[in-house]
Amino acid sequence: MTKRIVLDTNVYISALFWKGSPHDLFERIIDVDFLNFISPQILDEVENKLLDKFKLPILKARKMSETIVFSSEIVYPKRKFNIVKNDPSDNKIIECAIEADASFIVSGDKKHLLNIKQYKDCRVPLFSDTNYALRPLCLMPFSEYARRHF
């Protein structure tokens, strides 16, 4: 069964600009190894980062956004949550994951999202730059992952 995942904005940005684990993961999404979900709120944040932080021309930012949209399923979260207290803007990731019935959130956000570890049936495994979501170990239930790594 294909794993249902939601990527945090930082993973999209890393995948679009640099080679490495996030880029490899995004290629696996394009190859349909994973079923990726995104919400309009996450897509807006990615586009804003591309335009404001990276100063990309609008057409180039839109082309990158289209790549994400064409490799993802868009969901429209119906409920709002206040799970990530330290950074409420990260709640959109949780909302998307819940709406998509995702098994995993992939994030490099060590300050906020990764502190949650799990919300309902969606796990947020701890990933470092060298241990993202590519190895099967990282895609097992969080309890098994934690038992092996902590």
CATH label of the domain that carries residue 33: 3.40.50.1010
> Which domain covers residue 68, as residue numbers?
3-149
Q: Residue 46 CB: number of other CB atoms within 10 A?
A: 22
Alpha-carbon gap, residue 89 to 80, rounded angstroms: 11
What pLDDT was estimated at residue 143? 36
For residue 38, give the H/E element and its range: strand 34-38
What pLDDT was estimated at residue 139? 39
What pLDDT was estimated at residue 57? 97
What pLDDT was estimated at residue 84? 72
The tally of domains found in the chain comes to 1
Pull the structure tokens for residue 31: 């190859």
**What are the average pLDDT values for consecutive 10-residue runs of the chain, which has 150 residues?**
85 89 84 91 97 96 94 94 76 88 77 53 43 38 37
